[in-house]
Amino acid sequence: MILFIAVSLGFVVENYREDYSEKQNAKELLSSMLTDLQEDIIRFETFSDARKKLINDVYSFIDDVENRGLLKDDLIQQKLFSMTIFNWTYFEPNTANIEQVISSGALRYLGNDELIHQIGVLESQNLSTMNRQKREQEFFFKLLTAFDAQTLQFQMDKLKLC
């Protein structure tokens, strides 16, 4: 009888320790995920500002070509075109910790259905952003291939890139 009680208590204590350990791991993962989100917000704002400037450069190039035509030896057009090619970037959110939170089952320790829902929404938005950027990148490179940089006969040594 004493042996049965000892074994039973051993199982109870082990289950409690494991549950406590998993909750601590979940807290650490969630803390890391929060840090990632805060850093992503800052990086996205920087990315967004750079993208707005780049889009303005693209429109300046298009406007210049529409107004003056495509000029093969025009350094202004070449600079605008090259800035567009070489500075086009994509935002990549840090998804390692959110994926770990979801795949590890740490969500079950939150106890807040709205927070769990919002984490799912965030993961969905991350996937949507990555898919959109992939389509944008494919479109962008198809457009560049069609335009072909040789059309402008770049003279790279004459360009003054920033």
Domain boundaries, position 37: 2-158
**Which of 158, 162, 161 lies closest to 74 in space, CA to CA?**
158
What is the reported pTM? 0.64
CB neighbour list of residue 116: distance below 8 Å, 6 or more residues apart: 107, 110
Does pLDDT of 154 surpass 60? no
Q: Is the CA virtual torsion 14, 20, 22, 25 positive or negative?
A: negative
Count of domains for the chain = 1
Tell me the DSSP string of 11-28. Answer: HHHHHHHHHHHHHHHHHH
Does pLDDT of 6 surpass 90? no
Asked if residues 70 and 145 have their Cβ atoms less than 8 Å apart, the reply is: no
* Per-residue model confidence as pLDDT tens digits over 16-26: 888 788 778 87
What mean pLDDT comes out for the span 137-144? 75
pLDDT of residue 98: 86
Alpha-carbon distances, residue 136 vs 38, 90, 144 (angstroms): 26, 9, 12
CA distance 100 to 67: 52
* Helical residues (DSSP H) of the chain, grouped into ranges: 2-68, 75-87, 96-104, 113-147
Instruction: Please tell me the number of Cα atoms within 13 Å of 34 on its side-chain side.
Output: 7
* Per-residue model confidence as pLDDT tens digits over 86-117: 777 888 898 888 888 888 877 777 778 888 88
